[in-house]
Amino acid sequence: MDFFQRHQSILDNAIQAVHQRTFFAQYPEHPSPKIYGETADQEGREKFQQGLDKKFKELNQGDPVDWKGDEESPYLQKPLGIQYPIYNVNDLIEKGSKAFHSWRKVSPEDRAGILIESLERVKERFFEIAYATMHTTGQGFMMAFQASGPHASDRALEAIASGYEELKRFPQNALWDKPMGKYNIQIQKEWRAVPKGLSLVIGCSTFPTWNSVPGIYASLITGNPVIMKPHPGAVLPIALVVSEIQKVLQETGNDPNICQLAVDTFDQMITKDLAEHEQVKLIDYTGNSDFGNYLEALSGKTVFTEKTGVNSVILDSTDDLDKVLGNLAFSVSLYSGQMCTAPQNFFIPQDGIKTSDGQVGFDELAQKFVDSINGLVDNPKAGPFVLGAIQNKKTCDRIAQASQLKGKVWLESRTIENPMFKGARTATPVVVEVDASQKDLFSSELFGPIALLIKTENTNQSIQLAKEMAIKHGAISCGAYTTDGKLKEKIVDEMSLAATPVSFNLVGNIYLNQNAGFSDFHVTGGNPAGNASFTNPEYVIKRFTWVGFREPVPA
């Protein structure tokens, strides 16, 4: 089966989208029956439920040494009971190293065809993956469907397109002909894009698919076999993806161990053993900064990290305060703030902000913000589904501790009942006012639905503090609201020096938390929040090396 020929139009459109940066989506984000079939939702839910309390037997990577699993549903607060095959590190490394020498010789065209075919098959399982994501991460259904299904697949396709284009940037061979007066020197030259070796992708617990597939597909398209090491608490979503990759590899006569799943448990983790192994040359990681810094310090590795950051919102002026606060309330509440792009630090001048209805003081603004949050979370048709559930119990502890900060608590966090899951672990946002001088309180990421209202002298200090936080502690996103053109340009200039993208004046159904595949670069790689950006050229070209060979042409 020539999958490249079958999917070439998909690849061509994706490459064009990478250059144009306008809206493009190969995989529709709405779970519409017209697109995915009348029974797709029901079938996906049933497949998920049928897999509970059973062994996951879809992988094709040999006999395991054991079967284990630690996943727990934040909605049900009980184990999923799924057991995964456990392999020892040396076995994974040995199989991956062997697969390297076959996969590196597969042409870029064939690799691209195989990988796009795997995405087309993953598409048939979007609903199953959505329910798996819900019950491992706590995301609401709509987010789980979009993030782990269409959006993740678009990001994977983006990595394929970027990698393929870089592999085809230079010719495979050329005749070098240099005039020397009465004669010419002719040399036949050849170049090969040589992959670096075994790739390790380390997944996170909150976005097990969206954050993992860019690294998986970027390494695979450039000829590097992958060991996917998921977070023990969120295995199933990415296990389904890996299983589909393995199936296509096997059908095309390739070694399924080109992409392996390496499951571990909380009491016997293998991440460091894999990362430190001399055969592992590439590492992709999403998670806390301490472990990310450890990985970046490993010698002999090319490491791509997304770590923790401190995301800011700069409030100066607006024509419609209610719309602004409604947008920000949603951004803080979405998936209970368990997103790397969620806003945390809201910098507000002590005299308040300018609006079309006049000046709105700090206290009035704070109360309006609180009212917007309460209006959202108390809406039975919206609140429970926007908030989702808390993935990690430690996040609940962090939320409780936020109420003890040295500042005025404008809004206490509370639990709300999810009508579909009575036992869901939930938490609404906590809002605390602190002073600009209390940098120790707002200079680190407080993961979860935690909003700090930071009282500044003026907008200039707000900008300075947002920039300082990003430079020193990292930032993945920044929001700004201003009607002043000169001030907007100042924010652009200052935050660009902190390598932090800024979203201006967002209202309506577009939020600070969201990044669009084929258009927005996720993380810049220019501040402590991470050293990589998907998907820019560096994200793929560092996974292989151009090597040249030359020989004089006989006279």
User: pLDDT tens digits, residue range 386-424?
Assistant: 999 999 999 999 999 998 999 999 999 999 999 999 999
Give the C-alpha separation, 542 to 90, whole Å: 25
The reply to whether 425 falls in a domain is yes
pLDDT band at residue 33 under the 50/70/90 scheme:
confident
Which tens digits make up the pLDDT trace of 107-125?
999 999 999 999 999 999 9
Average pLDDT over residues 92-114: 98
**Residues 280 and 317 both lie in one domain:** no
**Same domain flag for 388 and 493:** yes
One domain, residues 317 and 293: no
What is the separation, in whole angstroms, between the first and last Cα of the chain? 44
C-alpha–C-alpha distance, residues 484 and 489, integer Å: 9
Q: Tell me the pLDDT tens digit for each residue of 333-344.
A: 999 999 999 999
| pLDDT band, residue 32 (cuts 50/70/90) | confident
Cis before residue 535, ω within 30 degrees of 0?
yes
CA distances 136 to 66, 125, 420, Å, are 22, 16, 16
Q: Is residue 268 part of a domain?
A: yes
Residue 555's pLDDT is: 78
In this structure, are 296 and 398 located in the same domain? Answer: no
Same domain, 343 and 277: no
Whole-angstrom Cα distance, residue 238 to residue 236? 6
Type of residue found at 63: D
Residue 226 lies in a domain: yes
Task: Kindly state whether residue 511 falls inside one of the protein's structural domains.
Answer: no
Average pLDDT over the chain reads 97
Dihedral (Cα; 500, 505, 509, 512), 10-degree rounding: 20
pLDDT score of 34 more than 90: no
Degrees, nearest 5: CA angle 324-327-328: 85
Stated pTM of the model: 0.96
Nearest residue to 329 via CA among 368, 373, 264, 270 = 373
Q: Is the domain of 172 the same as that of 316?
A: no
Query: What's the pLDDT band for 313 if we cut at 50, 70, 90?
Result: very high
Query: Are 45 and 134 in a shared domain?
Result: yes
* Same structural domain, 350 and 467: yes
- The answer to whether residue 16 scores a pLDDT higher than 90 is yes
Is a pLDDT exceeding 70 seen at residue 1?
Answer: no
Q: How far apart are CA 195 and CA 544, in angstroms?
A: 4
93 and 213 share a domain?
Answer: yes
When pLDDT is averaged across residues 450-461 and rounded to a whole number, the result is: 98
Q: Using DSSP, state whether 223 is helix, strand or coil.
A: coil
CB atoms within 10 A of CB 481: 24
Does 247 lie in the same domain as 213? yes
Q: State pLDDT tens for residues 347-384.
A: 999 999 999 999 999 999 999 999 999 999 999 999 99
What's the CATH number where 256 sits?
Answer: 3.40.605.10
Q: What HEC string does 350-385 produce? A: CCCEEECCEEECHHHHHHHHHHHHHHHHCCCCCHHH
99 lies in some domain: yes
Question: Residue 481 is inside which H or E element, if any?
Answer: strand 478-481
Q: How many domains does the chain have?
A: 2
Tell me, yes or no, whether 5 lies in a domain.
no
Whole-number Å distance between alpha carbons of 461 and 190: 56
The average pLDDT across 486-491 equals 98
Range of the domain at 486: 312-504
Q: Is residue 10 in a domain? A: no
The model's pLDDT over 61-79, given as tens digits with 9 standing for 90+, comes to 999 999 999 999 999 999 9
* CA angle 461–500–506, rounded 5-degree value: 80
Distance from C-alpha of 160 to C-alpha of 164, rounded to nearest angstrom:
6
Q: Under 8 Å CB-to-CB from 302, ≥6 apart: which residues?
A: 196, 281, 282, 283, 542, 543
CA angle (303, 98, 198) in 5-degree steps:
5
Domain match, 449 and 473 both? yes
* Percent of the chain predicted with pLDDT > 90: 98
Say which DSSP state 527 is in: B
> Based on the domain organization, do 317 and 282 belong to the same domain?
no
Model confidence band, residue 134 (pLDDT cutoffs 50, 70, 90): very high
Q: Would you say how long the chain is, in residues? A: 555
Euclidean distance between CA atoms 295 and 283, whole angstroms: 8
DSSP code of 435? E
In whole angstroms, give the CA distance from residue 518 to residue 15: 9
Per residue, the 3-state secondary structure of 133-177, as one string, reads HHHHHCCCHHHHHHHHHHHHHHHHHHHHHHHHHHHCCCCCEEEEE
In a domain, 15, yes or no: no
Burial class of residue 377, CB neighbours in 10 A (0-12, 13-18, 19+)? buried
